[in-house]
Structure 1
Amino acid sequence: MTNANWCVLIACILPMATVGLAKVASRGADSYNNKRPRDWVAGLTGWKSRANAAQLNGFEALPLFIAAVVLAQQAHADQASIDMLAISFIAVRLVYIAVYLANIHILRTLVWISGLGISIAILLLS
């Protein structure tokens, strides 16, 4: 499996891990309720609510990233370039999660644009 393929797997897991932070940190009346997860999410505030929003955005970012990696590999683009960009995408997504949780909205937007640009760059390799 290539580094880019590993990055696809990581990108698929990141959204669930992001909201997992909020689930693990919830205690008492705020405890995660697996019987009614949507109700639990609806009651979140602060960084836990932002963790859920970052999760949703992570899922939104997946289709373009996955398609870009697959199409670039099918086109036999330079694998080292695909790998480097895919690793960059994961790094940017980790920064995105951090700035989202920290509520630094302007930086979050800039980091999001960077992730989009990386996915487009991978796609253009094809």
Structure 2
Amino acid sequence: MSLVLICLLIAVIMPILAKAPLAFAQNKQQGGYDNRHPRAQQNALVGFGARAKAAHENSFEALIMFTPGALSVIALNQVGPIAQYLCIAFILARVAYLLSYWFDFHLVRSICWGLGFFCSIGLMVVALY
């Protein structure tokens, strides 16, 4: 169970870590980071900054998909090797997703998103059986 919880903790922290490249891009803009209107500044980003913003936001969306599966296998006492592998695969897919988004590898990014999605669904299936 602890491996699933560790993966869940990483998934919870990932959107916050994904904010760092976004903040970096905002800071590089003329005038630096606008802490009074950060979202308006984010909306004006292009290139790497825009991709960093999208990757940051998608981290929250992925968390919403992963959490029910991870909690289901814990609650239903279905934390076995398959559930653990799915959790690890989800985290690896999400790290690869972030990197491919930041560096504009769009096809790799889509594949990584799909892997993460299927890992999340797989956890729900494991919880059912």
Q: Could you tell me which amino acid in structure 2 is paired with residue 23 of structure 1?
A: A
1:89: Cα distance to partner?
A: 0.7
1:110: Cα distance to partner?
A: 1.2
Q: How does 1:80-99 map onto structure 2 within 5 Å?
A: 80-99=81-100
1:76 match: secondary structure: coil
1:28: Cα distance to partner?
A: 5.4
Q: 1:3 aligns to what?
A: 3
1:4-61: CA deviation from partner (whole Å, max 9, x where unpaired): 1121121122122112123135235152211111111012111111011011111111
The answer on whether the counterparts of 2:22 and 2:56 sit within 8 Å (CA) in structure 1 is no
Q: Which runs of 4+ in 1 moved over 2 A?
A: 24-28, 78-84
Q: 1:38 aligns to what?
A: 39
Q: How does 1:1-126 map onto structure 2 within 5 Å?
A: 2-25=2-25, 26-27=27-28, 29=30, 31-126=32-127
* Partner Cα distance (1:75, 1:96) in 2: 29
1:55-80: CA deviation from partner (whole Å, max 9, x where unpaired): 11111111221000111111111333
2:78 match: secondary structure: coil
Aligned positions, number: 126
TM-score normalised according to structure 2 size: 0.88
* Partner Cα distance (2:50, 2:116) in 1: 22
Percent identity, aligned pairs only, is 29
Q: Could you tell me which amino acid in structure 1 is paired with residue 7 of structure 2?
A: C
2:63 match: secondary structure: helix
Q: Which 5+ residue runs of structure 2 have no aligned equivalent?
A: none
* Partner Cα distance (1:55, 1:2) in 2: 26
